[in-house]
Amino acid sequence: MRLRDTPEEAAFRAGLRAWLAEHVPRYRGGTAPGEWTKALHAAGYSGLTWPVAYGGRGLPPTYQGIYAEESALAGAPDHVNVIGLGMVGPTVVSHGTPEQQKRFLEPILSGEFVFCQGFSEPDAGSDLAAVRTRAVAAADGWRVTGEKVWSSYAHQADWCLLLARTQPGSTAHTGLTCLLVDMRSPGVRVLPLRQSTGDSDFNQIVLTDVPVPRDCVLGPVGEGWRIAMTTLAHERGTFGITLTARLAVEFDRLLRTVHDLGLAGDPAVRAEVAELHVQLQGLRWTGHRTMAALARTGKPGPESSILKLHWSITNQRLAAFALRLLGPAAMLHGPDSHAAGHWQHLRLRSRANSIEGGTSEILRGIIAERVLGLPRTR
Amino acid sequence: MDFALTDEQRDLSAAAARLLADRYPVERVAGLADTGGVDPDTWPHLRRQGWCDPELGMVEKGLLAQEGGYALAATPWWSTVGLAHPIHRAAGRELTTDPLTVAWQDDPAGGGCRAARHGDRWRLTGRRALVTDATAATALVVAADTDDGVALFAVRSPAAGLAVEAQPTLDRLRGAARLRLADTPGELLVAPGSAERVLADARRHAGTLLACEAVGVARRALELARRHAGDRVQFGRPIGAYQAVAHRLADSYVTLELATSLALRACWLHGAGDTAPAEVAHAHAEAVVAGRRAAVSACEDALQVTGGLGATWEYPLHWWYRRALWLDSFDTPTGAHLATLADHLLTTPPQPAGRPAG
């Protein structure tokens, strides 16, 4: 056990911090999709843990953890290719053919291919096994028809990692296949979804008889479930650390709000600030423990579910507390509001935290079954 | 950074768990609690397994404390190694493996403790209360006022003029006692001027180990509940198959994991040597707050899950609950720990895009 960076890690962190301080301001805001990825790639910060053979740097997961932490703390732009780099890439490394690896990995690293993910469906929600989008065999491959929902970045994506039912009449986890779909194919329509905040981070993807060539099947036909699970395991890899670091940024902002409102001496406020700090520290250090487990075993354990679960609870608690601090001024949301309505926005946005990326109920179920060994709930 | 146990640390933990599982089956824990909580037999086994070794690292001690909480081991190990050893070390004493404890808390009934000098000898008169494991200790460290401030003294037990009265306690496996001292001979360990700091350091050392013990208590409560939820059938299926039960235990597990991280981190920082004192103090406060919460809530969740059974005297869970409640009230209150953290966080406004505190 050693809770300090090694000299090599410290040097990497220092270099990264300096680079972020210089580059983040330039890329924050309205840059073209993939621009930030390109800048990262040029500086050598893409694919840190990917094998060298695929253009990565072959570093241990700790470095990805340092990257996740520092970039979030620096307020780096929301990474449009987070799905390509964090989820699709590692899945292609594990399950792709050599041709697919050659075709996709380098462009994902360089930011040339921005990816989105097409797993969820309107009627499936968290139940991925209820996927109804179907792929029908055709002469040159497959023809896909169906509807996907909650796809982040689909409006900016070049490619989509899609889960479709290739075996007619199959149910649940069987008969599914993972497909790499070119978003410029005929029959692909992307419809932005407007959230309760007014933002549009997510999209609906409507697919009508979309042609997918045979060489765009990822992994064996009919084993899409297993492939998708690899992808989702990677989603939880260092994402917990990113989330926690973003929460730390919000916490610092909360401290500033407490000062700005003249509430730093209020005993109730002080107690809640300290409670939130303990929650945040628990998340932060549990993230580092999960990272150590990942470094040793090569894959994140089911314990990583606790980071997502508890992050959503803490983020919601923080947002609710911040709004409470504002008092009646919390009713405003516009130029007259405190910090340009930041807390109002966070309060609305954070409600989705316990739903997106695996609902809290699903995550509790995973912990109960896989970690505690309790019988399956129904 | 590598926040994972080494193989040696895992081995130590496993060996300690085996020893305690052997010495403290649930029926024995209940039996000891029923009959007064004293177990004179286990101490030599702990000694042999190295629980009192002076070179034991802080993380290792934290792991032993976790196992102690898990098994609810009725031994004076914590008061000896956690509380008394750091003071003996600061006083330049050789560390013995005799059971020891430290008395510094005022008796709520009033009356402090004073030490008077007679030539090069000291004599102590007054009271100290809530002295953990005092009945088992062969020597005590007693904090007493002198004309120059608080000092720490070694007092043999038994000794002339010393009365050790056991007090009825909520946690029957970790008794409290009141000391009455009447002209009792004491030997100066730490002189006024440095005694307050030495005592504060010892309490922090011991408190960090209690955070680990709390994690062990929470782990055992969750384990009891988990087993019950898997075995107990209601309406045709194990109750653990119901979401209301499964999800409660999942939350209990989450709280436990977060507390484990903070407890181990506090141990590591405490033992690291190169850490700023403030960082150690804050990590300690975080670990204590999280550990207490985890222990109490894990026991309460487990009590709920075990239903009517859990509410009976015969079902052993309440012995762990009692320990959790002891941990929740021992020494510095949770509110004071939170105040320490708030002082640190809110003294100056943070810089924009600041980094989280250690």
Give just the sign of the alpha carbon dihedral A295, A300, A305, A311.
Answer: positive
pLDDT at A256 > cutoff 80: yes
**A-chain residues within 8 Å CB-CB of B257?**
286, 289, 303, 306
What would the pLDDT profile of B296-320 be if each residue is shown by its tens digit?
999 999 999 999 999 999 999 999 9
Q: Are A2 and B243 within 8 A, CB to CB?
A: no
Q: Could you tell me the pLDDT band of residue A27, with boundaries at 50, 70 and 90?
A: confident
Question: In angstroms, rounded to a whole number, what is the distance separating the alpha carbons of residues B225 and B342?
Answer: 35
Question: In angstroms, rounded to a whole number, what is the distance separating the alpha carbons of residues A241 and A65?
Answer: 6
Query: What does the pLDDT average to over A212-232?
Result: 93
Residue of B nearest to A304 (CA): B254
Read off the pTM.
Answer: 0.95
Question: In angstroms, rounded to a whole number, what is the distance separating the alpha carbons of residues A255 and A259?
Answer: 6
The residue length of chain A stands at 378
What would the pLDDT profile of A282-335 be if each residue is shown by its tens digit?
999 999 999 898 888 877 777 778 999 999 999 999 999 999 999 999 999 988
Q: Are B1 and A295 within 8 A, CB to CB?
A: no
Mean pLDDT of chain A: 92
pLDDT at A377 > cutoff 90: no
B245, B334, B346: which to substitute to probe chain A, counting the most A Cβ within 10 Å? B346
What would the pLDDT profile of B83-125 be if each residue is shown by its tens digit?
999 999 999 999 999 999 999 999 888 889 999 999 989 999 9
Residues B149, B151, B157: CA angle, nearest 5 degrees: 145
Percent of chain A with pLDDT over 90: 76
Q: Could you tell me the pLDDT band of residue A30, with boundaries at 50, 70 and 90?
A: low
What would the pLDDT profile of B6-44 be if each residue is shown by its tens digit?
999 999 999 999 999 999 999 999 999 998 788 889 999
C-alpha distances (whole Å) from A132 to each of A222, A223, B59 are 14, 15, 52
Minimum-distance CB partner of B346 among A249, A264, A278: A264
Catalytic residue among A69, A235, A250, A272: A235
* 8 A C-beta contact, residue B119 and residue B81: no
Q: Could you tell me the pLDDT band of residue A378, with boundaries at 50, 70 and 90?
A: low
A235 part of the active site: yes
pLDDT at A344 > cutoff 80: yes
Give the ipTM. 0.96
* DSSP strand pairing (B176-190 vs B162-167): antiparallel
Minimum-distance CB partner of B350 among A252, A270, A282: A252
Residue of A nearest to B338 (CA): A274
Percent of chain A with pLDDT over 70: 99
Q: Which residues does residue A177 pair with via DSSP β-bridges, in sequence order?
A: A164
pLDDT at A12 > cutoff 80: yes
**B-chain residues within 8 Å CB-CB of A256?**
349-350, 352
B284, B332, B345: which to substitute to probe chain A, counting the most A Cβ within 10 Å? B345
Walk along chain B (358 residues) and give the pLDDT tens digit of each residue: 899 999 999 999 999 999 999 999 999 999 999 987 888 899 999 999 999 999 999 999 999 999 999 999 999 999 999 999 999 999 999 999 999 999 999 988 888 999 999 998 999 999 999 999 999 999 999 999 999 999 999 999 999 999 999 999 999 999 899 999 999 999 999 999 999 999 999 999 999 999 999 999 999 999 999 999 999 999 999 999 999 999 999 999 999 999 999 999 999 999 998 889 999 999 999 999 999 999 999 999 999 999 999 999 999 999 999 999 999 999 999 999 999 999 999 997 766 554 544 4
- Mean pLDDT check: name the lowest of A11-20, A74-83, A342-351: A74-83
Question: In angstroms, rounded to a whole number, what is the distance separating the alpha carbons of residues B107 and B127?
Answer: 6
* 8 A C-beta contact, residue A69 and residue A145: no
Q: Return the DSSP state at A129.
A: G
Which residues, at least 6 apart from A366, have a Cβ–Cβ distance to it below 8 Å? A302, A305, A358
What would the pLDDT profile of A152-203 be if each residue is shown by its tens digit?
999 999 999 999 999 998 888 899 999 999 999 999 999 999 999 999 989 9
